[in-house]
Structure 1
Amino acid sequence: MLLDSKDIKFDWQAAKFDLPDPDGKSYAIDELMGENGLLIAFVCNHCPYVKAIISHLVEDAKILQEKGIGVVAISANDYKKYPEDSPPKMKLFAEKHGFTFPYLIDEEQTTARAYDAVCTPDFFGLNSSGELQYRGRLDNLKMGHGENRVPELVNAMNLIAETGKGPREQTASIGCSIKWK
Structure 2
Amino acid sequence: MPAIPPVCDFGWKAPDFTLPGTDGRDHALSEIAGPRGTLIMFICNHCPYVLAVIDRIVRDGRELQGLGIGVAAICSNDAISYPADSFGQMKVKAREWDLPFPYLHDESQRVARAYDAACTPDFFGLNADRELQYRGRLDASRNRAGPADARRDLFEAMKLIAETGRGPQEQVASMGCSIKWKAA
Identity %: 54
Structure 2 residue aligned with 1:161:
162
Structure 1 residue aligned with 2:26:
26
Structure 2 residue aligned with 1:134:
134
CA distance in 2, matches of 1:109, 1:123: 16
Q: Is 2:22–2:94's contact at 8 Å kept on the other side of the alignment?
A: no
Q: Is 2:3–2:118's contact at 8 Å kept on the other side of the alignment?
A: yes
- TM-score normalised by the chain length of structure 2: 0.95
Q: Which amino acid aligns with 1:87?
A: F
Number of equivalenced pairs:
181
CA distance in 2, matches of 1:80, 1:127: 35
CA distance in 1, matches of 2:99, 2:66: 14
Structure 2 residue aligned with 1:64:
64
Structure 2 residue aligned with 1:54:
54
Structure 1: state its 5+ residue gaps.
none
Moved >6 Å (runs of 4+):
none
Name the stretch that deviates more: 150-159 or 20-29: 20-29
Q: How does 1:27-176 map to 2 (within 5 A)?
A: 27-142=27-142, 143-176=144-177
CA distance in 2, matches of 1:89, 1:34: 28
Displacement after TM superposition at 1:94 (Å):
1.0
Q: Is 1:141–1:147's contact at 8 Å kept on the other side of the alignment?
A: no
Q: Which amino acid aligns with 2:151?
A: V
Structure 1 residue aligned with 2:178:
177
CA distance in 1, matches of 2:30, 2:148: 37
Name the stretch that deviates more: 146-155 or 69-78: 146-155
Q: Which amino acid aligns with 1:157?
A: M
Displacement after TM superposition at 1:145 (Å):
2.8
Structure 2: state its 5+ residue gaps.
none
